Structure 1
């Protein structure tokens, strides 16, 4: 008798310490692929599609990856995504190689004018993440923007919705 991958995946304990790291081309296509692959990894690790934690992390990944492409792009250099899941925290990190452009106001992103079509990505990250921040790259040019979602908060959201 064979079991389907979905059935066996559901019986595995979710959130038991996983890591996914990959470099992506610094293009809109690379940002989209980063979001999609992070979503696939989350589902494979027991955080199913359409769950609040999955949707939140996918959105955060999309915003941080798009920012890396739009504001951290250096011709010929990729950006890197690192996703870690433990029993306590889901953490996403997006690293670009642009040094001279630092994130302004990382603790208090500014609200764009109401008619602006851009400029709300970090506001979304600030609202959705439990914690987030920016750290300089060690030993190389660039910065890492990271966001964390505590598992207790993710579980609480799923019970509400």
Structure 2
């Protein structure tokens, strides 16, 4: 878990929550399990609502869907036994409101295709259980991509959703 505490004379924020230059930040590590992915999704939903992106709105649902898909992919494709995944949610106000979700996992050899090269899985006799997560992210997010992690093995997959100005 990541903690960000303000100066000693100010009110402290809950672990993982901070505000920097007009941006709201939430960062936390989660177990690389389906339960960890569900918790991450729920906490993203709660944080967005607290930051003025209310439940039941299109922008809220879009960002939560992106977080759900990226965390599920970290568990399914980025899992390394004994290693957690890290989630960062940042909502900025300037120059335009944007929500950015970053999910880092410890598996650097399994990377997503470039954003322009996603392909719909071929239909088969039985419907595929997966393979559409990044297609959903690409369809909902305004931008997405990935990069190798710095100072640690693995990768970070990110996506940004432009929010309506309040």
TM-score by length of 1: 0.82
SS of residue in 1 equivalent to 2:117: coil
For the aligned residue pairs, the C-alpha RMSD in angstroms reads 1.2
SS of residue in 2 equivalent to 1:53: helix
Equivalent of 1:24 in 12, 17, 30: 30
Tell me which residue corresponds to 2:141: 129
Tell me which residue corresponds to 2:121: 112
Where does structure 1 lack aligned partners over 5 or more consecutive residues? Answer: 1-15, 156-161
Q: Which has the higher contact order (CA 8 A, sep 6+)?
A: 1
Q: Does 2:140 align with 1:140?
A: no
Tell me which residue corresponds to 2:51: 45
Question: What is the alpha-carbon distance in structure 2 between the residues aligned to residue 139 and residue 77 of structure 1?
Answer: 15
Question: What is the alpha-carbon distance in structure 2 between the residues aligned to residue 72 and residue 107 of structure 1?
Answer: 21
Where does structure 2 lack aligned partners over 5 or more consecutive residues? Answer: 1-21
Instruction: Say which structure is richer in helix.
Output: 1
Question: What is the alpha-carbon distance in structure 2 between the residues aligned to residue 102 and residue 149 of structure 1?
Answer: 21
Tell me which residue corresponds to 2:105: 96
Q: For this pair of structures, how many residues does the alignment match?
A: 138
Tell me which residue corresponds to 2:80: 74
Post-superposition offset of 1:100: 1.7
Question: What is the alpha-carbon distance in structure 1 between the residues aligned to residue 105 and residue 115 of structure 2?
Answer: 16
Tell me which residue corresponds to 2:16: none
